[in-house]
Amino acid sequence: MRKLILIVHTSLDGFVAGINGEFDNFKPSPENLDFVCSLTDEADAALVGRMSYQMPESFWPTTRDNKKVIPSEIKYSNWYNDAEKIVISKSLSGSKNRATVISDNIAERIHGIKNRTGKNILMFGSPTTFEILNRLNLIDEYWVIQYPVFFGEGISFFTRVRNSNRLDLLNIIQMSRGEIALHYKVR
């Protein structure tokens, strides 16, 4: 069975973006995207909510054609273009720009996708989608990348969790600008 693995970048106080959705306070280390690319090596699908789907659609598909990008950006762009896209959304419908949109029967449909042959499914950010999938116990592993910054306010991630899952810490990776990647598996 394929694993559904959440990758989320957070401030120390649990925010994934500023109050208006900005990411300005995240200053990733040069090796940060290389690390994410190491996770994409073992995955062939991306699962996101509507906003986390629409934001990168204007950047990643054409990044590999830009002569000024670094190799990890080309690698990620290639993965992004080839990966199956799964979007949890009630406002999008059917298939949209190379993506499968799921708006109902979420547990059943995600179980079906996880049972298909393939590599891991990476879930990026998407606080509302996380709440739904966490409540349905569909997430197998977590990579929480914490940045050494406090936002004070913004878009929170874990504060609305309704069920408690016990997690086992599998790995810790420290990056050069102080980010810490914490890898957990659901018990």
pLDDT in tens, 92-128: 865 556 789 999 999 999 999 999 999 999 999 888 8
Residue 95 CA to residue 85 CA, distance in Å, equals 10
- Write down the pLDDT at residue 96: 59
- Write down the pLDDT at residue 72: 94
- Write down the pLDDT at residue 107: 97
Considering the chain, what percentage of its residues have pLDDT values greater than 70? 97
Across residues 135-145, what is the average pLDDT? Answer: 95
Q: At 64, is the pLDDT very low, low, confident or very high (cuts 50, 70, 90)?
A: very high
CB 76 within 8 A of CB 64: no
Does the pLDDT of residue 157 top 90, yes or no? no
Task: Read off the tokens for 98.
Answer: 């190379």
Q: At 63, is the pLDDT very low, low, confident or very high (cuts 50, 70, 90)?
A: very high
CB 119 within 8 A of CB 44: yes
Question: Going from the N-terminus, what domains does the chain have, and what CATH number goes with each?
Answer: 4-18+48-165 (3.40.430.10)
DSSP 118-178: SSEEEEE--HHHHHHHHHTT---EEEEEEES---SSSEESSTT--S---EEEEEEEE-TTS
Residue 187 CA to residue 185 CA, distance in Å, equals 6
pLDDT in tens, 73-85: 999 999 999 999 9
Does the pLDDT of residue 164 top 80, yes or no? no
Give the list of residues 6+ apart from residue 59 with CB closer than 8 angstroms, or none: none
- Write down the pLDDT at residue 148: 95
Taking the complete model, does pTM exceed 0.85, yes or no?
A: yes
- Write down the pLDDT at residue 93: 66
